[in-house]
Structure formats: structure tokens, C-alpha cells
Structure 1
Amino acid sequence: MSLPQPIEAPASFTGQRVAVVGMGIEGRDAFQFLVREGAEVVTVDRNPRRAMRDQDDVSLLQGLDALIASQGVPWDSTLLVEAARRGLPVFGPTQVFFERCLSNRVIGITGSAGKTTTTTLVHELLSRAEVDCVLGGNIGRGLLGQLPDIAPDTTVVAELSHTQLLRTTRSPQVAAITNITPNHLDQFDWDDYQALKYRIVEYQTGTDRVVLPFDEPRAAHASRIGSAVNEWFGIGEPPCRAAAHCDRGRVFRNGRRLMDADELKIPGQHNLRNALAALAIVGELVSDEAAAAVLSTFAGVPHRLELVAELDGVRFVNDSIATTPERTLAGIRAIDGPIVLMLGGRDKRLPLDPLVDELRRRVRRAVLFGETGAAWAQWCAEQGVEARHAGDLASAFAETVGAAQPGDAVLLSPGGTSFDAYPNFEARGQHFRDLVEALRPKESVADER
């Protein structure tokens, strides 16, 4: 089945009967937007407590003028396929935002990994430079609800997933792709997944900018699509003038030395790449002094190599965002010292082979949990990695605590999605945080006095 072809949304939904499908963050944002416009809204979700109608009930299509589908709703779901068959238009919240947004500088950031950290860094850099800016998109803040606050001179910083790009008819004036690696192959084939990432530049013009890594060929291919001005970032000696790069441990902006790479507070080479991407994106809107100040103090974002606590010499690190083996690999490489690894969740059908060398070299024990735990534990054993399937996350955590020694890091970097047991990776990460907090010694009444 071919991906749906995007179509323009109407200039107004006033007086229309519109179904919002998927009542998560995007869906609630779209619902409030439509109510303000004067539409009659029907809320739809698989969870009956969150909506008026069930997502599997195609009879709800009767009498509708249109649907707005959140990114979490599969494009080939029965409801959306039937809507298309009946000629009902299906729009996306991000699409509607792009078509309505008055800003002259929308920055859109996508990629298989690193886009949340890069997006957050861009917003931090612009805020430090006192640029009027708003943040939203896949980062967990709705965009449509922010439309009334956005003027032509407001800068919009938006994290964009591949599914948010599915129905877009506009490109941001500044587009960035951090990288493109196999991901979500349980939902899309590889060609379609790449095509969705490239859609971020599809509608750009000669006055727009696209920021790409010079050392990652799949993402760099986007330079051949559209007609935007290409700007580059990466690690190593750049093949052309780079807006930001790191060579031999030194970070440069447009050829000017900015700082040493080891001055960045966030750990790991993957985060160095995120910082370089952010520098290239903000360009000369941010001074060198402000940029260096932000990069030397920015500690990262929750659930991404987040140091929750150090107890009895053991560090507990929450990397719940790691929903692919590639992200787990980056997490392992960013941690110093021996690791007791919590691995598992729901499989995305991605190869585990890239993990082998680092598992053997760095991980003292892997404790598996969740839907894919048993199969992955067997795979680890076949690779000569000490591993055990513990069941759920709480059981896996208890086992890692028992196995960890002073100097170790207990690393939750699952490699699989959270949807086997949690609504999202944030909830899984919060559960890990709660388990760590429960280990802290409780103060007695006498201590408090």
C-alpha cells in the first residue's frame, strides 16, 4: 500500500464536523484548536475513557467533513483507509500548523536519533541570545495551540518525527536532519521511512536553508532534494566549508575555534554531533560567547543519559529514550566504567548485531525485561554476553541492583519501545526514577530534627 498523498487543509474548519483521531498530546491540541475555530469535533481513540468514539468503529465516519489524525495513529489503520476510500480528507496537526503559521522563521528538526536533544539545544541557544522563540512538535508540546502567540518575527523551533511529516504540504524555512538510520521498520519499509524524513526539505525554496551532516551520506542526500541553501556540520575534517564541525577535539563555527569538545557538559560523541547540529542551525543569531556558555552548562534532557542518582558508588542512568539498538550503543559508549545494562521492551525488528562488540567489552551483565526480553536474552547468550531475562522492569531493576558493584553504572537503555508496558518512554523512565528513589535511605524523625 502506497503512502497517502498530502492534500491542503481548508483555510478554516468553521462549521465543519471533524473527527480528531488519537487523543494524546497532539490530539488534545488539535481538539482545542478546532473548538476555537468553531468546528463540531468528534474525539476518537482506542481508549474509550479519552474519547467519544472508538477508533475501530468506522460508522463514525458518517456525516464527517474531515479527519485530523495524530502521528501515533497508523496511516494504514482501518479507519483512515476507509476514510480515504470514501473520499474524506485526512489531515495532520503538523500539516495544519505549517499551513497556518505566520512565522518567517520556522526551524524544523528531524532525524532517527538526536532530534530531541538538538531541538532543545537550539531553543536554549536562541533563548540565551534573547530571540523571541517558541518550542513544540514531537518534543511533547502541541504547536496548534501556540498559533495565537506566533507573529511573523517569532522563531518556531519544532522537533518533527517521520509520522508528523507524513501529511505535510509545507517545509520549514530552516530544515535540519541529524541522521537517517534504520528505525520503525515494524511500521514502514526502509524506503518509505527515508522518504518521510526527506519530506522535510521537499517544499523548500532557494531562500530557505537545510542543515545536514557532511559525514552521514543518507542524511546528506537531502541536499539533492529541493533548492535550499546547504549548510553542513559533522566530525572530522569537512570536505567543504562547514557551519560547525569538530576536528581533533576542537569545535569550530564557520572556521572560528569556539571551544574544546571536552568542555561540553553532555556526554558522548553522539551528543557532540547534536551540539554541532544545533550550532549550525542557529547560525549567527547566537554569538560565540553565548553559544560556548550554553554548551558548557547544558546537562541534557530528561530520559536521555540522565544521571538519576549515585548510591553507594553505583550510578543509575536513565536512557529510556533509547528505543533502538543504535541508541543503546551510543548510550553504552557515553558511559565510563563497567555497565550493568537493562535491555528490552518491544522489538522494532531492528538488527542487534551492532551491539555485540560493546556488549562484550563494556557490559558486565545484561538484564532483560519486557516483551522481547526472552528472545534478546537468548541472543545475548549466543554472543557470549552474560544475560538473564528477569520479567518486567521492576524485576530487572532489582536484579541489576544486586549485581552492581561500586564504580558500576546501572544503565536503562532498552533498545526497544515502551509500548509493551507503558504509554511512552517517559513513563518507563519515570518508573526507573521511582525505583531508584526508593533505594535512597530514608531520614529518621531524629535526623529531621
Structure 2
Amino acid sequence: MRKDFREFKRFILGKKVAVVGIGVSNIPLINFLLDLGATVTAFDKKTKEELKDVATDFNNKGVKLELGAGYLDNLNGFDVVFKTPSMRIDCESLVKVKKEGAYITSEMEEFVRYTKGKVYAITGSDGKTTTTTIISKLLEEQGYKTWVGGNIGTPLFSQIEKINENDRVVLELSSFQLMTMKEEVDIAICTNLAPNHLDMHKDMEEYIEAKKNIFLYQDSKGLLIVNRENEITHDFKKEAKGIVKEFSSNREILDGSYYKEGVLYVEGKEVCKKDDIVIKGMHNVENYLAAFIATKDDVSVETMKKVAETFTGVEHRCELVREMDGVKYYNDSIASSPTRTLAGLKAFDEKVIVIAGGYDKKIPFEPLAYEGYPYIKELILMGATKDKIKTVFDKLEEEKGIKTNIKMAKSLEDAVNIAKESAEAGDIITLSPACASFDMYPNFMVRGNKFKDIVNAL
């Protein structure tokens, strides 16, 4: 049972509140807390010069700023602390302020606790943004006022009083957001799980435990949707307190959703043909199956079919950038793990020229080599992980005699130029890095946009 937001308004009035991180979701949060009568101090490792107008605006509104190196040194004496999602709860500064008696929370936890709308929450290692977007499109097409937030969309907590009981809320939630989540969602969807973010999590077990929080606090009426073909998510059934429905790309599940002989079904009813879906690849078939079974009580089969046959996909996900001299260039910058890159490669009907490499999330690259080689015509490596990835492909050649053509690049621009020189008419070049972007770019969107700029300038 969700709480009445008036409780929060009474609670926060006059409180000394710390907000850690002055980013996209926390800027509206800070303004909202000020409107609710809190005294706010904002913390960020960025300097006043880097924050520019944001810092000036907050200064003018009476927000105290703790910035730059050692920005957390004065995180003490607060009643409430809103942490940024990527901040671990066991970080020294948070542990210290919690011992003092501070209430530690986050924008997303408070939103889920108080929102009146029916909540669909989506997590997984791969496919969560596309599945989140498909679900929101299905609900909108069916006529619901739909709010999209979490990792994508807009920060929702500051808009909470505009959301009513008949609205639908669709949230993409990362393992970082879920680590401290103890709130109930109506419908929880886990697309799949594979090693990811092991630079942030202590180990794979902690990563999986974080993901479980999406369903562990549901009651008997809650609905959990899991991938039958993913061993880890299939295992979640044992701990679920509510109803569990499965989707599968490999077997018939008559009370779930499934793919069989070119057709997608939900609870035994045909929805659409695979070849009529605009966004290609079996990974997108699975994303649709998850979305269909999750929304079956809110959305008609006719609406499902219409969306599948018209939705053109999300930017930076196997996005066609241009065709030049008979060569197609695709931007799959979202692919920040080997499994996500594999899914993208399998979407094409032929071997492709792949640009990969980037920031090291401490994920093993063996799947990229040992499962990916049949789909790769040439591999162009860049970034901090280029030697690490090459080592795995060299190992594959030593062990099995399977050689992959590999070239090394100094930058993304260099990689595109190498790919262009290698390509012949009819080839496909895809940026599908299998790594995060942080060694070269602030996020995958900036990396994808840079790739598009380079390709469009060829």
C-alpha cells in the first residue's frame, strides 16, 4: 500500500536536507525540496565553474553548495540525505551521517513510495530501455496518461502531485537504483541477467541481489515477469511473493508469452509476426514478449500488434545512421557489455565490421570472442580495453584455431576511418563497444552522437 504524499510534505518541512549529486535528476529534486520548505545543501565533485548557471541559480535561492575535491567532507549534521544512484550505501561518508541519525534515501525510492499511479518497473542487464519504451508506447497507444522515468525519461518525484490513480508509470531501474529500494511496485519485469557493472558491485552475487529488490517487496497481488530462457531470472520464481509470468523465445508458455515459428503469442493468442516488427533481432522479440505479458491486463492485442509494427526503436540501439557507397553504418552505442553487443550482432543477417572497446567495467570478454566470432567480419578495437579484448580473441585462436581479423585504432574517429577503408559495398559497420564510454566520453549517448557526427561527415 503506497503512502499519502501529504505525509512526506509534513515530514520534510523545515528539515536540514543534503542532496548528493547535482545532476539531471537531482536539480529538479533540489528545487522541489526548497518548495516544500526544506533547508537544502547540495554536494557535487564538480566545481562552481563547471556547474556554471546551475550553481549561480542555487546560490540565489539559498542552497548551500559543497563542491570540488573533498566535497563530502562536510556531510554531517543532516536530518535527511538524498544520495545519487551510483553512490554506494556503504561509502564512508554515508555510513558516518547515518550513524548520526540521518534518514538516507533517493529520489526514486521516495517517488515509488508515494506515487498514486500504477507502476511498471523494468530492470535487466540488456534490453531494459527498449522494453521500458515499448511498454510506455503500448500504454500511451491504449489511451493511458503515461509517465516514464528512472534511468530514462524525466525526473518524476518533483511531478508526483500531478500523477493520479488512473495514470500509468513506467520506470527503468538500474542495479544502483535498486540496491537500496525497499518499495513495492505493481508489475516488476526482469529482461535477463548477465555479468555487468562489476566495477561498481563487489561481485556478481551483489549485482543479482540488487536486481531482486525489484520484486522482493511485492505482496500476493504483485506481478513479476521473468525470462524463462535466462537461468538467473528464471530462478527468481522461488523467492517471488506474488504472481509470476514468464516469456520465452524458445518454448511455448501458454499462460505467458512466447515466440514460435515466426509468430509472437501472448497467453496463446497470436499478436504479430516477427518479420512485421520494425526493430530487428531476437533480442527485440524478447523485449516485445516481456512487454506484452506485462501489459496484458491494460492493453489489447490489437494495440500490441500496432505498436510492434510501427515503433522504430530507441536512439543509440542498432540505429541506422546512414548508407554510403553501399555500406550501412549503425550506432549501437548502448551496447556497454559483451552480451549486449552479441545481441546486436545477432540482429544482422550477415557478418559485420564491429567497432568495440572502451572503459573497463571488469566484465569478462570471453563471450564476445567465443560466441561472437561467427558474426564478426572484422573487429576494430579502441579505448582502454582494446588490448584486453584482443587478448581474448588471441586466446580463441590459440585454443581453437579460429582467427578474427583485428585492427587497432587510436580513437573513435580513427576506428571509423579504418572501418570505412576495410568495407566493401553491401557491408555493415556497427559501433557496438561491449564497454562503457567513460574512458573517452561522459556517457554512451555522447559517444553515439560523436559516432553519428563522424559518420555523417564522411
CA shift for structure 1 position 177: 0.8
Q: Indicate if the aligned counterparts of 1:209 and 1:231 stay in contact, CA closer than 8 A.
A: yes
Give the 5 Å matches for 1:274-289. 274-289=287-302
Does 2:183 correspond to 1:170?
Answer: yes
| 1:336 maps onto 2:335 in alignment | no
Q: 1:18 matched to which residue of 2?
A: 17
Q: CA RMSD in A?
A: 1.9
- Aligned position for 1:399: 418
CA displacement, residues 218-240 of structure 1 (integer Å, 9 cap, x when unaligned): 112222224211122111223x5
Q: Which amino acid aligns with 2:192?
A: N
Tell me, in whole angstroms, the C-alpha distance in 2 between the residues paired with 1:236 and 1:62.
53
CA contact (8 A) 1:359 1:385 kept: no
Residue number in structure 1 paired with 2:454? 435
8 Å Cα contact 1:175/1:211 also seen in 2: yes
Kindly indicate whether the alpha-carbon contact (under 8 Å) linking 2:43 and 2:72 is maintained by their aligned counterparts in 1: no
Match 2:285 to one of 261, 272, 276: 272
Verify the 8 A CA contact 2:32 2:158 in the aligned structure 1: yes
- Asked if the contact 1:243/1:279 (under 8 Å) is kept, the reply is no
The aligned counterpart of 2:399 is none
Other structure's SS at 1:415 match: coil
Count of residues paired in the alignment: 430
Residue 211 of structure 1 corresponds to which residue in structure 2?
225
After superposition, give the CA deviation of every residue in 1:104-143 in whole Å (9 maximum; x if it has no partner): x111111111110000000101111111221111114212
SS at match of 1:25: coil
Partner of 1:92: 106
Question: How many Å apart are 1:148 and its aligned residue?
Answer: 2.1
Q: Distance in 2 between matches of 1:111 and 1:20?
A: 27
AA in 1 matched with 2:457: A
TM superposition outliers: structure 1 runs of 4+ over 6 Å: none
Separation in structure 2 between the aligned mates of residue 67 and residue 202 of structure 1, nearest angstrom: 24
Out of 316, 321, 324, the position equivalent to 1:303 is 316
Q: Secondary structure at the match of 2:86?
A: coil
- Measure how far apart 1:358 and its partner are: 5.0
Change (3 A) 1:11 1:336: farther
Structural mapping, 1:52-71, within 5 Å: 52-54=65-67, 56-71=70-85
Question: 1:416 maps to what in 2?
Answer: 435
Is structure 2 residue 245 aligned with structure 1 residue 231?
yes
1:145 to 142, 153, 158: 158
Output the amino acid matched with 2:110. V
Deviates more, 1:55-64 or 1:179-188: 55-64
Opposite residue 161 of structure 1, the aligned amino acid is S
Pick closer, same or farther for the CA change 1:203–1:402 going to 2, 3 Å. Answer: same
Tell me what 1:101 maps to.
115
Take 1:406 and 1:324, find their aligned partners in 2: how far apart are those partners? Answer: 29
Return the letter of the residue paired with 2:302.
Answer: E
Aligned position for 1:443 = none
Aligned to 2:234: 220
Alignment pair present for 1:253 and 2:266: yes
Tell me the SS of whatever aligns to 1:59: coil
Q: Which letter maps to 1:418? A: S
Secondary structure of 2:359's aligned partner: coil
Aligned AA for 2:324?
A: L
Amino acid at match of 1:195: E
Q: 1:349 maps to what in 2?
A: 362
AA matched with 2:247: F
Q: Tell me the equivalent position of 2:214.
A: 200
Q: Do the aligned partners of 1:23 and 1:45 also contact (CA within 8 Å) in 2?
A: yes
| Cα distance, 1:9–1:373 mapped onto 2, change above 3 Å | farther
Deviation at 1:11, TM superposition (A): 5.7
SS in 1 for 2:119: strand
Deviation string for 1:400-428 (max 9, x for gaps)?
A: 12222111111100011011121111111
Question: What do the CA deviations read for 1:355-390 (whole angstroms, capped 9, x no partner)?
Answer: 224543232221111111233234334433221221
1:244 aligns to 2:247 (yes or no): no
Q: Distance in 2 between matches of 1:118 and 1:136?
A: 13
* Structure 1 residues 277 and 202: alpha-carbon distance in aligned structure 2, compared to 1, 3 A threshold: same
Q: If the length of structure 2 is used for normalisation, what is the TM-score?
A: 0.89
What's the counterpart of residue 314 of structure 1?
327
Structure 1 match to 2:4: none
Alpha-carbon distance in 2 for matches of 1:27, 1:368: 36
How far residue 344 of structure 1 moved from its aligned partner, in angstroms, is 0.5
Q: After the TM superposition, which of the residue ranges 32-41 and 418-427 deviates more from structure 2?
A: 32-41
- Report the Cα distance in structure 1 between the residues aligned to 2:139 and 2:390, rounded to whole angstroms: 44
Q: Check whether the contact 2:44–2:71 (CA below 8 A) recurs between aligned residues.
A: no
**Residues 1:74 and 1:433: Cα distance change in structure 2 (over 3 Å):** farther
Give SS of 2:342's match.
helix
- Find the counterpart in structure 1 of residue 34 from structure 2: 35
